[in-house]
Amino acid sequence: MALRGLDLVVPRGQTFGLLGPNGAGKTTLVKLLLGIAFPTSGKATVLGRPSGHVPTRRRIGYLPENHRYPPHLTGEQVLHHFGRLSGLGRPERTRRVEALLKRVRMEEWRAVRVHKYSKGMMQRLGMAQAILNDPDLLILDEPTDGVDPIGRREIRDLLLEQKQRGATIFLNSHLLSEVERLCDRVAILREGALLREGSVSDLTRPQAAWRVEVRPAAAEALQAACRRVPGAGVVQGGVEMSGDAGALNVLIDALRGQGVEILSVVPRRDSLEDVFVKVLNEGEAA
């Protein structure tokens, strides 16, 4: 997919999520950043240098989607191979390989040929390969694809460690819940165009809507309270409503008047998935 007038800046030290449906141009953008493809117009810079700048590539870690390694190699051999490509000397390479095999919990599988690895094991090995050279920029395409919930949490922790040491993380993923947990900022692409870009907290900011959780109460009492406030309705575990703080207080008074015990009042937020679907459906411009 061709990119159309894309203007995007990723601040150093942040975790940035690139979102979009299949064919949106995400892979094209990654190829441009890595110098695998070249723009017909415009320019891209990575770590302050033109994309494709060879010395800068040594400062990048990359995990493509559906990555493959020579099936006859063991996991340990794969990491040594990529360590040599990164210019790591043998003592440092050996130290890094040992540490990363332990970090991604693949130490017991180090001598097993990778054709016997499961999808989740391949992702773990891929993460170790991507951070082997302590990159300043880490570009990841679906890093938790095929990984079980425990493995996804471990990869999240690993990425947080990379961010804490100062790395910038550029993440493609269809698992929007993972992006919401990990990323500081996101951009949403469709058909090569940027529709929306901003911080996750801004994009999912609270609406003028509320959820009031209550102790189990008679449905008649909840319904009677809701009739006092337009936009209020009974849901499992409580009441939801749209409106300002004044309307919320009217609802609270009505619930108390019906003898309902209130447990919590929580402002409703859109999830990142809600925002993503809304932006694509409405075609909002950035």
Q: What is the pLDDT of residues 125-170, one digit of tens each?
A: 999 999 999 999 999 998 888 888 888 899 999 999 999 999 999 9
Q: What percent of the chain has pLDDT over 90?
A: 61
Residue 52 is predicted with a pLDDT of: 87
CA angle 49–53–57, rounded 5-degree value: 100
268 pLDDT higher than 90: no
What is the pTM (predicted TM-score) of this model? 0.80
Residue 39 is predicted with a pLDDT of: 84
CATH number (domain holding residue 238): 3.30.70
Give the pLDDT mean for 37-62.
90
Confirm whether 51 is domain-assigned: yes
Residue 10 is predicted with a pLDDT of: 92
What pLDDT band is residue 271 in, cutting at 50, 70 and 90?
confident
Give the pLDDT mean for 233-252.
92
CA angle 137–280–189, rounded 5-degree value: 25
Residue 284 is predicted with a pLDDT of: 52
Domain final position from 179, 202, 225: 202
Q: Do 224 and 119 lie in a common domain?
A: no
Report yes or no: 137 and 168 within 8 Å, Cβ to Cβ.
Answer: yes
Residue 183 is predicted with a pLDDT of: 94
- Alpha carbon distance 130, 118 (integer Å): 18
Q: Do 37 and 113 lie in a common domain?
A: yes
Domain final position from 202, 223, 257: 202
Give the pLDDT mean for 112-119.
95
Residue 283 is predicted with a pLDDT of: 67
Q: Do 97 and 226 lie in a common domain?
A: no
Q: Do 90 and 158 lie in a common domain?
A: yes
- Alpha carbon distance 270, 71 (integer Å): 44
Report the SS3 class of residue 282: helix
Domain span at residue 169 reads 15-202
Could you count the other beta carbons within 10 Å of the beta carbon of residue 252? 18
Q: What is the pLDDT of residues 56-111, one digit of tens each?
A: 988 999 999 889 999 999 999 999 999 999 889 999 999 999 999 999 999 999 99
